[in-house]
Structure 1
């Protein structure tokens, strides 16, 4: 997913996320968050080697139930899922390798 894709304001429900099949990543953040903007090139670089991984960019904030259900406190938070179950989490990534290691857990063939 390109780094210039905006965060979705219409988040899926937790039941929909839990039912996801295969590898997926939910990225919680906002378009105005400096940490989120700074992480976009790192995220894009890591995802380049994993084209089959679903990447959902979800706008987070007060009153947003999906982020609360995952206990998100800082942005960006990337939650790595395999068949709807969390396998890894990266908060405020500072290098692409950190993201790539978590992606390898959900998409080893990447």
Structure 2
């Protein structure tokens, strides 16, 4: 597992997400979103230290049930899950260290980005 570059072609259901074992980063956004594009290098840097975390990118928008179930308002929103349970959330992250710290909460490794 490692960082996913593309948005999922099929949106998973909330039940699928809730049933996922282990560490998962659920990223909500859109391929045309400027904030989302600017966050990609930061997410990639953090994944360099946490490659075992599952990454699911979900294209969000009006009427998308998964985004609504997580009450997504702004993109990108990163939801950090451990065994299907939300542990942390970052909205419009602008710091790789903050992302790595949240990743460390779900996979138990030290947070470093140097």
- CA apart distance, 1:8: 1.7
Change (3 A) 1:24 1:9: same
Determine the structure 2 residue equivalent to 1:70: 70
DSSP-derived class of the 1:40 partner: helix
CA distance in 1, matches of 2:52, 2:33: 27
Offset at 1:84?
A: 0.2
Kept after mapping to 1: 8 A contact 2:27/2:79: yes
SS at match of 1:31: coil
3-state SS of the aligned residue for 1:42? helix
Structure 1 runs of 4+ off > 6 angstroms? none
Q: Report the counterpart of residue 46 of structure 1 in structure 2.
A: 46
> How many residue pairs were aligned?
109
**How big is the shift at 1:9?**
3.8
User: What residue is the counterpart of 1:83 in the other structure?
Assistant: 83
**CA–CA separation in structure 2 for the residues paired with 1:10 and 1:107:** 26
2: CA distance between counterparts of 1:90 and 1:2?
17
Q: 1:2 offset after TM fit, Å?
A: 4.7
Could you say which residue in structure 2 is the equivalent of 1:95? Answer: 95
Distance 1:21 1:74 in 2: 26
Name 1:24's counterpart in structure 2. Answer: 24
Q: Following the alignment from structure 1 to structure 2, what is the Cα–Cα distance between the partners of residues 31 and 6?
A: 8
